[in-house]
Amino acid sequence: MVSGGNDKNTPAVVSLAAGGIAGGVEGAVSYPLEFAKTRVQLRAKKGVPTPRNPFLVVTQVYQKEGIKALYKGCGALVVGSIAKDGVRFLFFDQIKEAYADKETGTLSPLRNLLAGMSAGVVASITAVTPTERIKTALIDDARNEKRFRSGLHATTTIWKEHGLLGLYRGFAGTTLKQASATAFRMGTYNILKDFEKTRNIEQNTAVNFANGSVAGVVTTLSTQPFDVIKTRSQSATGTSTAEAIKSILLDYGLKGMWKGTTMRLGRTVFSGGILFTSYEAAVKIIMPLYPGAKQTEAG
């Protein structure tokens, strides 16, 4: 299980709450890096170079547009992160419990990845696609038309103009990204954790952060093309997955599929450490408050 403490049979409500807390903390703390990555992936004027240093992008936006611009879409991302990580930790924990070895409580590497993939698909359908759509549309709109006044205004405007499908623009790319990203992030983290168990390595904050950071690196390098396609699909005007792929290849060629890798890598290493450390800490805090905690520990 991805949980802290006794590491056995984390109740569903605890997984959901701890995952939501961890997602909210991670989303809020690392948002400027997410903003920079999204800006670079959105379509720019052909021939105009885009910086690779996320801090340079952040500095330029701050100087030209102010501090508020840097947090455009942050609310949508945080809300989405709370829902997304609550759902994916919940489903991952439940799936892992169902398939774990009865004696050791661990999963094979392949089953770890499959459990993560399943959790990612559910998260994409229930939370990630619409909130990512709003976040990306807000960031794109802020540099051009400036039509959207807030996340709520963007949601209602897109709904009026395009209906439910408008909020699910980029669903294919988002689901591919979420399925693969959750598989690699959750799978890698738990493979490392299971390995450390067999070596009697103590699970503390430093180890949790290091494991989460390694999982972030693996996730970024494995799933970057899906992230670029998703971002292009979810621009302010929105486009299909096929059109997004075509525009990326026309603008930058095949290497465009890895646009923003450096920026996303910086964020996922940082956010991966924060996410799993926050989750483990939240489980330890919530478990004693859960009415069935004593029975769970005894069982």
Whether the Cβ atoms of residue 23 and residue 74 lie closer than 8 Å to each other: no
Q: What is the pLDDT of residue 6?
A: 40
- First-to-last alpha carbon distance for the chain, in angstroms, is 15
Q: What is the pLDDT of residue 159?
A: 94
For residue 260, give Cα distances in angstroms to 104, 114, 215, 221, 255. 40, 27, 18, 11, 11
Q: What is the pLDDT of residue 5?
A: 39
- 3 domain residue, yes or no: no
- 17 domain residue, yes or no: yes
Q: What is the pLDDT of residue 51?
A: 67
Please name which of 116, 97, 89 lies closest in space to residue 16, comparing C-alpha atoms.
89
- 38 domain residue, yes or no: yes
- 36 domain residue, yes or no: yes
Q: What is the pLDDT of residue 4?
A: 41
pLDDT in tens, the chain (299 residues): 444 434 456 788 899 999 999 999 988 888 887 888 777 777 666 666 666 676 787 888 888 888 887 787 788 778 888 988 898 888 888 887 777 777 776 778 888 888 888 888 988 898 889 988 998 888 888 877 788 888 889 999 999 999 999 999 889 888 988 888 888 988 899 899 889 988 889 889 999 999 999 998 998 888 889 888 988 888 877 788 889 899 889 988 998 898 878 778 877 888 889 999 999 999 999 988 877 654 444 33
Q: What is the pLDDT of residue 192?
A: 93
The CATH number for 120's domain is 1.50.40.10
- 232 domain residue, yes or no: yes
pTM for the model stands at 0.67
Query: For residue 225, how many C-alpha atoms fall within 13 Å in the half-sphere facing its CB?
Result: 11
The total of structural domains in the chain comes to: 1
Q: What is the pLDDT of residue 2?
A: 44
Domain that holds residue 274: 12-292
- 5 domain residue, yes or no: no
- 67 domain residue, yes or no: yes
Q: How far apart are CA 81 and CA 188, in angstroms?
A: 20
- 72 domain residue, yes or no: yes
Residue environment code for 73-82, b if the CB has 16+ CB neighbours within 10 A, otherwise e: bbbbbbbbbb
Q: What would the DSSP string read from start to end of 136-167?
A: HHHHHHHTTT---SSHHHHHHHHHHHH-HHHH
